[in-house]
Amino acid sequence: MGRRTPEEYKGLALSFPRANRALDSLSPTFPPRPAVVLGILSAVGLGGLAPSRGAGLDPAALLTWLALAATALGVLAGAWLPRATALLVTLPWWAAVEGLGRRAPGALPDPTGAWWAAAGLFTLGWGAGCLWRHGAVRIAGAALLISGLLAALPSGGGRLAQPWPPGAAARLLDLSPVAIVLECGGLDFMRHPAVYGPVGTMDIGPELRAPWRATTAAVPLLLLGAALAGAASLRGAR
């Protein structure tokens, strides 16, 4: 093959931008439109309703899923949605939680407190997504993994030969997002069959641990998420 002339190299150089523009016009925009993102993130948050359809709606199933997924969904909302629009993601969650609370008041004593806790976890992720937009997918994956680990640690994922010492178990329960959301909903999480034996909560008295309430859990999470979003605004203004 012969050596190219300078004119041929110049033609190739000019063709690359045109080719890139053509590819860009064929590839879909990501993320998609804000309304689509909002609907998808809201629907994913309601995924906890799906497993309980056959046996009736279970508030604990929805709240458990929200506790695990809310922070990761908040990260994606913060990165992909306008600031004011992102917080609308949690409104369908509020409607679902309030609806379940009205249908089964004994099963969910404080639906508003549960929603505030889930919204606090979401806001924490939202602030992180506003601050670190370019790594949002990786951060959301890490948030989902960390939420699952924190939820599993009190029971050791069911693999402990014996429960943690009461003091350690109490602190691990404090870090569990599932404990935060369910207890803010007024549920006695420490007496739940999945927790009582595996975590040994019969040995955790009020001197070691008190249940979470919306004022002690949701408010700090909301403030921290707002602080991260504020830091993102300050960094963007520089």
Residue ranges per structural domain of the chain: 32-232
pLDDT tens, position by position, 41-100: 999 999 888 755 455 678 888 999 999 999 999 999 999 998 778 889 999 999 999 998
d(CA 78, CA 132) in angstroms, rounded, equals 9
**Residue 27 in this model has a pLDDT that exceeds 50:** no
The DSSP letter of residue 200 is I
Residue 124: which residues within 8 A CB-CB, separation 6 or more? 71, 74, 221, 224, 225, 228
Residue 22 structure tokens: 């053509």
Averaged pLDDT for residues 7-18: 48
What integer pLDDT is reported at residue 55 of this predicted model?
Answer: 57
Low-confidence winner among 76-80, 105-109, 140-144, 199-203 (lowest mean pLDDT): 105-109
Measured distance between the N- and C-terminal CA atoms of the chain, rounded to whole angstroms = 53
**Percentage of the residues of the chain whose pLDDT score is greater than 90:** 60
Overall pTM surpassing 0.85 (yes/no): no
Averaged pLDDT for residues 129-139: 91
What integer pLDDT is reported at residue 23 of this predicted model?
Answer: 36
**Residue 237 in this model has a pLDDT that exceeds 90:** no
d(CA 215, CA 12) in angstroms, rounded, equals 64
Residue 177: which residues within 8 A CB-CB, separation 6 or more? 67, 68, 70, 71, 121, 147, 150, 151
The per-residue b/e assignment along 135-150, b for 16 or more CB within 10 angstroms, e otherwise, is: ebeebbeebbeebbeb
d(CA 192, CA 128) in angstroms, rounded, equals 32
Contact in structure between 120 and 225 (CB atoms under 8 Å):
yes
Averaged pLDDT for residues 148-158: 92
**Residue 170 in this model has a pLDDT that exceeds 90:** yes
Higher-confidence residue of 183 and 18: namely 183
Residue 31, preceding bond cis, omega within 30 degrees?
yes
